[in-house]
Structure 1
Amino acid sequence: MNRRSFLATTAGFLTASSAGCLRLSEQESGTATPSEEGTVTGTESVEGTTTPTEEESDTDEEGPGDISGAPMFKYDAANTGTSTGETGPKNAVEEQWSYEIGERLYRPPAVVDGTLYFGTADANVYAFSAMDGNVEWSHDPTDYSDLIVSTPAVVDGTVYVGTDAGTMYALSANAGTERWKYHAGGLLRSPPTVVDGTVYFGTVDDGVYALAADDGAEQWTYEVGLSVYSSLAVVNDTVYIGSYAAVSAEDGTEVWSGNSDVTQPPTPAVVDGTVYVTRTYVVDGDFVGRVYAVSADDGTERWSHQKEKDIPRSPAVADDTVYVGCNDHHVYALSTADGTEQWAYDTGAKVDSTPAVVDGTVYVGNDEGTLYALSTDDGTEQWSYQTGSPLSSPVVVDGMVYVGTEDGTVHALSEQ
């Protein structure tokens, strides 16, 4: 049973015995209550080593198989922020369900085979039913201070997620039981990228790690010299650490490095031999943002595009266009060829959200809690929805939009 012993009440909501209180908002389809069997507790591990856990029962050994939906941050290992196989609502939406955790949701969930996987600021990993928001299970790490701010990766029946205590966990996707964990040390806010049986991630103490996905054994490490908060892109047997460096996915040997003015490697999107990143600079006391395109082969700059306010989140890249949100209140579409602006849309507030691009629509939120759906062709607004709290980045799967908020609520939206 989780430290926050869950009490299901007749009022149809959930409370917890600790300060990190959880409660469910009412749903048309009923209320969601996690069962005692669905909550699990971790065990201690030694720094720099992997701690395997006991063998699991046959009932939870097999998790989701074929990868579909959004199995990791920004959909894929290239961090494109788009999925050609998904559809999303193009007309006005309504709330299908919501779940109030009560702790800030920093990044979007992973969505695989009808389940949402979230890491939260209340030190839990949650699995929700994508259909009705029922809590399928939750996992509470051993260390109560294990803040979880990164998007999990869900591949071959295993959930991989890092914590602020510097631990990477591997959990059963079906039940949340712990399979192994690896303590790297330092804050681990880099969403993991899982490719060909290897888990790649960075840490705030300047390391990049590659672990075996099946047992957590360390395969190699690479010292960046900078804090790595961002997700790594893994494309064509190469790991891209923002626009700062590229290393071999097999053994971590350096392919190229540069951009010495980078203080924190941003999350890269790698498409057709080009790495796209955003960066924020201070110019005459003001923050300005730039979008860069560099060669994936050697890191040489191809073009850059500057805005007069900072661009806090990473780009999405689809159909020869780069999409970014900016703190000048706009969403911009830029040409991948030379960075020229194709269109701009004014949301009326800072855009601290990474766009998701699905089926001809850009989904993005602003700091006033409004989620927008914009046409990729010209930025025309298709619909907007007000949540009342600043938004994390949305994810769009199977015609639904899922988004978390600063006040700790998960919203599931569908077309009316």
Structure 2
Amino acid sequence: MPWRQTRRRYLATLGAAGAAALAGCSNDSDTRAPTGDPSIPENIGRWPMFGHNAANTGAAADETGPTTNVIVQWGYPTDAQVFSSPAVVDGTVYVGSNDNAVYALSAVDGGEQWRHETDGLVHSSPAVVDGTVYVGSFDGYLYALSAGSGDVEWRFEAGASDNPLVDRQPVQASPTVADGTVYVGSDSDTVSAVATDGSEQWTADAGGSVRTTPAVADGTVYVGTDGGDVVALSADDGTEQWAVDAGSAVTGSPAVADGTVYVGTDGGDVVALSAGDGTEQWRYGAGEPVSTSPAVDGDTVYVGTDGGDVVALSAGDGTEQWSFTTGDSVRSSPSVVDGSVYVGSDDNKLYILSTGDGTVQWELSVGGPVSTSPAVVDDVVFVAGAGDVYGLTAP
């Protein structure tokens, strides 16, 4: 694939003449980022699934990320828009694309290791556990692929449809793997629990399309639906524990921390619910739809809004701590690493903000809207902008 290789070299070696398309800036320095070829460690660590962990908190206490002088180390162009957030495990980046494929790329230089074609768009973010990549497709299947080769180990019909005119509904949701079980939702209004050998453990009716990534904590699976419900299911058998109407469609995934479920709604609210019984603890009116999954780190919740804001809220009572406004809608779920919030915007930029007060530490243009959630591993940020997947780091 010569064009891919040529484009990749171009991005990795971009100099001053090309900086207009891929430029970084701090808020108090020159608007052009330096470029070069810094070394990325071979032993890149782990960001194994959307939200970093089964609870979808989006926070990684043991990771480190770059905060200044961030540049594009490499870029890999897929053949269509990318809405799938990257997973990074043991030196490989796994990501889906609207070209119907799942990719495995070298985290060091972006080289393609393999690609697997499905029969539908891949919005789902991969979950990578014990040498297997789990990912959904618009063709209605949950796939289990070998992390080493991309070969299909099995596929499960998670989008099975009762409609005689439709064989399967899309699996847009990202899977979550916890305690040897894969949990995934689908447009067929269901949530399924699948063993790692592909056998069905249970399937539960959620009452609406589930395009959110399940959050799994303390034996309970939490999902949001396009009907506006937040639903808690037993991880053991799928029995409904409780269901709460959040007020409008839930398109961002729930996050669970310290006995509380945090979720955003299309009506512009961030809602905190008791993980035990669904009782509402507080509600924050963002004023614009919240399409992102909240990130929770310590006593602070971070969300992005369609109005272009990144907001930090008190986890205890929802009080606004600070707000930062980007140039366009924020559909990228924030990631929190080592005192910094990493988040993309439809203004084509990745922002690195201080968790303390929202100050911009660095911003970098990647030439297309950034709607995926960044994976931050060993001082490298992996994110997709438009149809390209990037590795970003500091010299």
Q: Which amino acid aligns with 1:216?
A: G
1:404 and 2:384 equivalent? yes
Identity percentage of aligned residues: 49
Residue of structure 1 in register with 2:329 after alignment: 350
1:253 deviates by: 1.2
Compared CA separation, residues 372 and 155, structure 1 to 2 (3 A): same
Residue of structure 2 in register with 1:297 after alignment: 276
2:12–2:72 contact (8 Å) kept in structure 1: no
> Match for 1:78 among 55, 70, 77?
55
Residue of structure 2 in register with 1:20 after alignment: none
1:226 and 2:208 equivalent? yes
The 3-state SS of whatever aligns with 2:264 is: strand
1:261 deviates by: 4.0
Q: Which amino acid aligns with 1:372?
A: Y
Q: Which amino acid aligns with 2:143?
A: Y
2:252–2:290 contact (8 Å) kept in structure 1: no
2:184–2:193 contact (8 Å) kept in structure 1: yes
- Mapped to 1, the partners of 2:68 and 2:263 lie a distance apart of 31
1:241–1:265 contact (8 Å) kept in structure 2: no
1:266 deviates by: 4.1
- The structure 1 segments of at least 4 consecutive aligned residues displaced by more than 3 Å after TM superposition are 27-30, 260-266
2:172–2:211 contact (8 Å) kept in structure 1: yes
Q: Deviations over 1:223-269 (max 9, x none)?
A: 01100000001101111123621111011112112217444464100
> Match for 1:245 among 231, 236, 240?
231
1:327 deviates by: 2.5
Normalised to the residue count of structure 2, the TM-score between the two structures is 0.85
- Mapped to 2, the partners of 1:14 and 1:343 lie a distance apart of 41
1:277 deviates by: 0.2
1:329 deviates by: 2.2
The 3-state SS of whatever aligns with 1:280 is: coil
Q: Which amino acid aligns with 1:220?
A: W
Compared CA separation, residues 29 and 361, structure 1 to 2 (3 A): closer
- Mapped to 1, the partners of 2:352 and 2:302 lie a distance apart of 13
> Match for 1:212 among 181, 191, 195?
195
Compared CA separation, residues 131 and 79, structure 1 to 2 (3 A): same
Residue of structure 1 in register with 2:258 after alignment: 272
Residue of structure 2 in register with 1:97 after alignment: 74
- Mapped to 2, the partners of 1:414 and 1:370 lie a distance apart of 15
1:183 deviates by: 1.5
1:388 and 2:367 equivalent? yes
Say what the alpha-carbon RMSD is for the aligned residues.
1.9
The 3-state SS of whatever aligns with 2:245 is: coil
Residue of structure 2 in register with 1:201 after alignment: 184
Q: Which amino acid aligns with 2:287?
A: E
Residue of structure 2 in register with 1:155 after alignment: 129
Compared CA separation, residues 147 and 340, structure 1 to 2 (3 A): same
1:322 and 2:308 equivalent? no
- Mapped to 2, the partners of 1:183 and 1:255 lie a distance apart of 25
- Mapped to 2, the partners of 1:222 and 1:363 lie a distance apart of 34
- Mapped to 1, the partners of 2:63 and 2:303 lie a distance apart of 20
Residue of structure 1 in register with 2:29 after alignment: none
- Mapped to 2, the partners of 1:312 and 1:265 lie a distance apart of 6
Number of paired residues? 352
- Mapped to 1, the partners of 2:363 and 2:223 lie a distance apart of 34
Compared CA separation, residues 355 and 28, structure 1 to 2 (3 A): closer
- Mapped to 2, the partners of 1:312 and 1:222 lie a distance apart of 24
Q: Which amino acid aligns with 1:173?
A: A
Q: Deviations over 1:255-311 (max 9, x none)?
A: 112217444464100000000000022xxxxxxx11000000000000000022222
1:71–1:155 contact (8 Å) kept in structure 2: yes
Residue of structure 2 in register with 1:121 after alignment: 98
The 3-state SS of whatever aligns with 2:393 is: strand
Residue of structure 2 in register with 1:190 after alignment: 173
Q: Deviations over 1:322-379 (max 9, x none)?
A: 1011233221100001000111112232222111100000011111101110000111
1:370–1:386 contact (8 Å) kept in structure 2: yes
Residue of structure 2 in register with 1:49 after alignment: none
Residue ranges of structure 1 left out of the alignment (5+ in a row): 1-7, 16-22, 31-66, 282-288
1:226–1:265 contact (8 Å) kept in structure 2: no
1:191–1:230 contact (8 Å) kept in structure 2: yes
1:241–1:266 contact (8 Å) kept in structure 2: no
